[in-house]
């Protein structure tokens, strides 16, 4: 048995997020500790983390530099008001971050989550056009199957039906590009799919329909994670960039998952070579330790706001915890860990090994597609007729019993281990997964 806490005897009060609450409460799965690549369960098992928590613990767990930074900061300065006042760490962090953002993107706005980063970016885009004298540009273009968090702006531009259908009319003035998932043409592609760049042309149709003068921004995930790991087809992002430029539309990349090393560079532009105007981030910014997000903007977007009388607030937006000192300390400790261990490029180094191990699952029962890039992988399963999601959820439960944490979305298994994973642990992960897949009904 573990030396940690006993299981609480009442699980009723906590309404769990994105969870099958009744199923969980019948057979709870509890973590009580974590170190490096492993979680410890309340019954004392070591579970290999195949998902970096929720795509966030990129440096692994219990990393000394982050732990020390947080412990020290909380004793020194626990909180400073975020509006009209500052503290040194938040400036230090912003400066450190813009060292690794694409050239010309030298400003950071802090939030507390990916969802808040998205809302912030959407508001910035609309407000930017207004301060530039183009107040008619208010329309936002998202993409089918996109995930941009759970707030109203994010679910409006997002394209995951179950996240949208319960919540009324959402934001007006939103349109969507088609998604890029095409198993028929691209199944079992290693790296970026060959087919689908032409889907970016749909943006021209949307522009023709609404007129460019009404459109503020296009927002996409450079690699769509939460919908089940959809890689951008070769040439697709470049074409989106060109069409946005042609029509004066801002391009927002939601890098909440792709930021901080997942694709083998600091951000997706390092991997895919396409630079957006605004980037939303969170998760890997603090390696999941303290909630924090950041939005990065091109200098001229920031500068456009810096006009008018100097005693006036330039952008009426912000959060009580924007740039919280403890979160900043966690982020600085995380950046130091990434730097010292060269983690932001480690996915590139491991990618060939990861890819071979992942694709060795081809041919196992129910596997209809496998996709990968950097240290991300997905295995798509044939759904059980009339019971979508059940097969993958069963795989998740079986893997957990076998001491492996995977994530499922729909009937897709998504894998995104901490960037510190070893080759031996990659072997272990896929050996367990093979066992699980062989026993699925
Ligand atoms: C691309 C993307 N945007 C936004 C979010 C929302 O982040 P959060 O859950 O921190 O609000 C996520 C979360 O997975 C995400 O993947």
* Residues with Cβ within 8 Å of residue 371, at least 6 apart in sequence: 186, 188, 189, 193, 229, 230, 231, 377, 378, 380
Residues 105 and 137 in one domain: yes
Q: Does 201 reside within a domain? A: yes
* Distance in angstroms (rounded) separating the CA atoms of residues 331 and 142: 29
Boundary residue ending a domain (312, 341, 370):
341
- CATH number for the domain that contains residue 308: 3.40.640.10
Q: Report the DSSP beta bridge partners of residue 278.
A: 252, 297
Please work out whether the CB of residue 412 comes within 6 Å of at least one atom of ligand 1: no
pLDDT at 8: 81
CATH assignment of the domain containing 383: 3.90.1150.10
Q: Give a yes or no: residue 6 inside a domain.
A: no
Indicate if 42 and 149 belong to the same structural domain: no
Q: Of 297, 315, 341, which residue constitutes the final position of a domain?
A: 341
- For the chain, residues with pLDDT lower than 50 are 1-2
For atom 14 of ligand 1, which residue has the closest CA? 226
Sign of CA dihedral 143, 145, 150, 152: positive
Q: What's the confidence (pLDDT) of residue 7?
A: 72
**What pLDDT does residue 1 have?**
45
Q: Cβ–Cβ contacts within 10 Å for residue 136, how many?
A: 13
**What's the structural domain count of the chain?**
2
The span from the CA of 294 to the CA of 113, in Å, is 8
Say how many Å lie between the CA of residue 154 and the centre of ligand 1. 9
pLDDT digits (tens, 9 = 90+) for 147-174: 999 999 999 999 999 999 999 999 999 9
CA-CA distance, 301 to 217, in Å (whole number)? 13
Looking at the structure, tell me whether residues 192 and 94 fall in a common domain: yes
Pair 421, 333 in one domain = no
Distance CA 210, CA 381 (A): 38
Q: 351 with 405, same domain?
A: yes
Q: Is 272 inside any structural domain?
A: yes
Q: Is residue 4 part of a domain?
A: no
Task: Please tell me the predicted confidence (pLDDT) of residue 5.
Answer: 60
Sheet of strand 250-254, all strands in order from the earlier edge strand to the far edge:
107-111, 293-297, 278-281, 250-254, 215-220, 139-143, 174-177
SS3 label, residue 186? helix
In a domain, 204, yes or no: yes
257 lines ligand 1 (CB under 6 A): yes
Judging by beta carbons within 10 Å of its beta carbon (0-12, 13-18, 19+), is residue 344 exposed, middle or buried? buried
Does 148 contact ligand 1 (Cβ within 6 A)? yes
3-class DSSP assignment, residue 198: helix
Based on the fold, state whether residues 187 and 122 are members of the same structural domain. yes
Q: Hey, which of 282, 327, 378 would you mutate to test ligand 1's pocket, going by the most ligand atoms within 8 Å of its Cβ? A: 282
User: 433 is in which domain, residue-wise?
Assistant: 21-62+343-438
Query: Per the structure block, which two tokens stand in for 292?
Result: 């924090």
Using CA atoms, how far apart are residues 103 and 106, in angstroms rounded to an integer? 7
Distance 149 CA to ligand 1 centre (A): 4
Helices (H) and strands (E) in the chain, counts: 16, 15
Order of strands across the sheet that contains 376-381: 367-373, 376-381, 412-415, 407-409
CA of 64 to the centre of ligand 1 (A): 26
3-state secondary structure of 359: helix
Residues 106 and 182 in one domain: yes
Residue ending a domain, choose from 341, 375, 409: 341
Residue 27 within any structural domain of the chain: yes
Question: Can you give the pTM of this predicted structure?
Answer: 0.97
293 and 181 share one domain: yes
For residue 327, give Cα distances in angstroms to 99, 217, 323.
19, 29, 7
Handedness of CA 52, 336, 280, 266 (dihedral sign): negative
SS3 307: coil
In a domain, 16, yes or no: no
Pairing of strands 250-254, 278-281: parallel
CB of 224 closer than 8 Å to CB of 410 = no
Residues 261 and 407 in one domain: no
Residue 34's region, left for phi above 0, alpha for psi from -120 to 50, else beta, is beta
Instruction: Clarify whether residues 379 and 390 are in a common domain.
Output: yes
**Largest pairwise CA distance in the chain:** 68
149 with 164, same domain? Answer: yes
Q: Are strands 38-41 and 407-409 parallel, antiparallel or unpaired?
A: unpaired
Q: Which of 241, 186, 189 is nearest to 218 (CA)?
A: 241
The reported pLDDT for the residue numbered 9 is 77
Same-domain pairing of 377 and 311: no
- Do 395 and 42 form a contact (C-beta atoms < 8 A)? no
Distances (CA, A) of 392 to 348, 382, 407: 28, 9, 9
- Enumerate the H helices of 99-201 as residue ranges: 114-131, 152-157, 161-164, 183-186
Residue 15 lies in a domain: no
Pairing of strands 404-405, 46-49: parallel
Residue of 116, 145, 256, 267 to mutate, ligand 1, most atoms within 8 A of C-beta: 256
Atom of ligand 1 nearest to the CA of 54: 14
């Amino acid at each position: 048995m573990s030396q940690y806490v006993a299981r609480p005897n009442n699980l009723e009060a906590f309404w769990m997020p994105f969870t099958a609450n009744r199923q969980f409460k019948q057979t709870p799965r509890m973590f009580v500790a974590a170190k490096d690549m492993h979680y410890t369960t309340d019954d004392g098992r070591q579970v290999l983390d195949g998902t970096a928590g929720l795509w966030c613990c990129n440096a692994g767990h219990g990393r000394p530099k982050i732990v020390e930074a947080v412990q020290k900061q909380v004793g020194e300065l626990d909180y400073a008001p975020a509006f009209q006042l500052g503290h040194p760490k938040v400036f230090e962090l912003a400066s450190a971050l813009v060292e690794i953002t694409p050239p010309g993107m030298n400003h950071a706005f802090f939030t507390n989550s990916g969802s808040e980063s998205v809302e912030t970016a959407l508001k910035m885009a609309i407000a930017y056009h207004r301060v530039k004298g183009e107040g008619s540009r208010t329309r936002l273009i998202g993409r089918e199957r996109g995930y941009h968090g759970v707030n109203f702006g994010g679910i409006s531009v997002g394209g995951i039906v179950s996240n949208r259908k319960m919540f009324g009319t959402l934001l007006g003035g939103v349109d969507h590009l088609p998604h890029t998932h095409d198993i028929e043409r691209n199944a079992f592609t290693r790296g970026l799919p060959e087919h689908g760049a032409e889907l970016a042309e749909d943006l021209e149709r949307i522009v023709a329909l609404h007129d460019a003068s009404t459109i503020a921004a296009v927002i996409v995930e450079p690699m769509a994670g939460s919908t089940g790991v959809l890689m951008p087809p070769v040439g697709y992002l470049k074409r989106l960039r060109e069409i946005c430029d042609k029509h004066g539309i801002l391009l927002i990349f939601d890098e909440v998952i792709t930021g901080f090393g997942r694709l083998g560079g600091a951000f997706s532009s390092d991997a895919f070579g396409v630079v957006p105007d605004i980037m939303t981030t969170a998760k890997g910014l603090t390696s999941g330790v303290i909630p924090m997000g950041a939005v990065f903007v091109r200098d001229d977007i920031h500068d456009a706001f810096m006009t008018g009388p100097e005693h006036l607030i330039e952008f009426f937006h912000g959060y009580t915890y924007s740039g919280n000192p403890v979160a900043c300390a966690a982020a600085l400790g995380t950046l130091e860990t990434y730097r010292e261990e060269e983690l932001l490029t480690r996915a590139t180094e491991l990618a060939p090994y990861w890819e071979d191990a992942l694709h060795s699952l081809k041919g196992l029962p129910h596997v209809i597609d496998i996709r990968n890039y950097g240290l991300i992988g997905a295995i798509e399963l044939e759904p059980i007729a009339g019971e979508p999601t059940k097969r993958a959820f069963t795989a998740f439960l079986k893997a957990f019993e076998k001491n492996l944490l995977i994530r499922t979305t729909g009937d897709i298994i998504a894998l995104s281990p901490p960037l510190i994973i070893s080759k031996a642990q990659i072997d272990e992960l896929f050996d367990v997964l093979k066992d699980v897949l062989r026993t699925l009904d």
